[in-house]
Amino acid sequence: MRQYGREDLELLFRTADVMADRLQRAFLRRPLDGRIMMTAFFEPSTRTRLVHETAMLRLGGTVSGFADPSVTRAEGSTAESDEDILRMLDSYADVIVLRHPTTGRPAELAARLTGALLINGGDGTGEHPTQAMVDLYTLYRRFGSIDGLRLLLVNDLRMRCVNSLLLGLRNFDCEVSAVATDGMDRPEGEEADWASDGPPVTIGGSVVELLPKVDVLYSSPTVSLRSAAGDRTRPLTIDRRLLEEHAGRHLAVLHPLPRKGELATDVDDTPFNAYWAQATYGVAVRMALLTLMFDA
């Protein structure tokens, strides 16, 4: 997300508006006709893969690739290097969507490409920039503006979607609080790094006390942790009762999905639910991104 400034993001939002609108109507043009997207998922992720494929198909492009790293293991022995695989895709595809378990690897591999564009579809504990674009677009659509919003981030703060969201929020004038589940705090250095560039972030505190004062409650996907002693640290569960007792009327709950126990299904039918809209915007935001990347 470091490579995108406020103007880039605002252009993306306006383009996504057009795309979201186009999804409702018959297609008038196919700007990516003849283009090929290759998905290279060295770690499976059905959501991220399918949302990019959908965006590409809606723009008239075509898709191929692999959904699972096991497929890349040739007969016999060990896997081919990811660099050789990316170089292969570079000569086949116009754009590659890469999911990689190793933090920072997409940037290294992107530097080797000569023809294809690269989209980072999530790297280790690094970044998930297109998810952050969707998160920000969801705020823009729900509130009209991101400036002035007060956000509370909860649960696993080490997740790549949190990293990318924090980097994106630096472009806007908003207040951020963050409360981690035990053992899921952001590393010290990263907090400082982020804080030095962006708006104030307050780490820690009580969710129940903070909830009435914020506009947005954002939870990352979170899995319970087993400690050395064998105890389980459970994430905060966002449910209807918590929200009805403590949240302001206009609170929006965001979650990139998939969810486990940290977001109860009884929130689905409340006005706090912004995560389905968020999921739906996924297609339009990737369509906007592809259109801008290809200058199409």
- DSSP track, 234-257: PPPPB-HHHHHHHS-TT-EEE--S
Please give the Cα distance from 53 to 47 (Å, whole number).
Answer: 10
Residue 21 interacts with a copy of itself (CB under 8 A): yes or no:
no
Residue 279 interacts with a copy of itself (CB under 8 A): yes or no:
yes
The site for a copy of itself, by CB under 8 A, has a size of 58
**Shortest Å, Cβ 88 to a copy of itself:** 6
Q: Which of 120, 132, 159 is nearest to 40 (CA)?
A: 120
Residue 38 interacts with a copy of itself (CB under 8 A): yes or no:
yes
Contact 79, 156 (CB under 8 A): no
* Interface with a copy of itself in residues 62-101 (CB under 8 A): 62-68, 70-78, 80-81, 84-85, 87-89, 91-93, 101
* Contact string (CB under 8 A) for a copy of itself, positions 215-244, x = contact: ------x-x---------------------
Please give the Cα distance from 152 to 178 (Å, whole number).
Answer: 6
Closer by beta carbon to a copy of itself, 91 or else 145 = 91
Closer by beta carbon to a copy of itself, 195 or else 296 = 296
Please give the Cα distance from 215 to 251 (Å, whole number).
Answer: 5
Please give the Cα distance from 231 to 252 (Å, whole number).
Answer: 32
Beta strands in 200-281 (DSSP E): 201-203, 216-219, 225-226, 232-233, 252-254
Closer by beta carbon to a copy of itself, 25 or else 249 = 25
Residue 276 interacts with a copy of itself (CB under 8 A): yes or no:
yes
In our burial notation (b when 16+ CB lie closer than 10 A, e otherwise), range 7-33 reads: eebeebbebbeebbebeeeeeeeeebe
Among positions 9, 15, 45, 287, the unique one binding a copy of itself when judged by CB under 8 A? 45
Q: Which of 217, 119, 115 is nearest to 165 (CA)?
A: 217
Contact 59, 296 (CB under 8 A): yes
**Shortest Å, Cβ 133 to a copy of itself:** 17
**Shortest Å, Cβ 200 to a copy of itself:** 32
Among positions 246, 259, 270, 292, the unique one binding a copy of itself when judged by CB under 8 A? 259
Judged by the rule CB under 8 A, the positions of this chain that interact with a copy of itself are: 26-27, 30, 33-34, 36, 38, 43-47, 50-51, 53-54, 57-58, 60, 62-68, 70-78, 80-81, 84-85, 87-89, 91-93, 101, 221, 223, 257-260, 265, 276, 279-280, 282-283
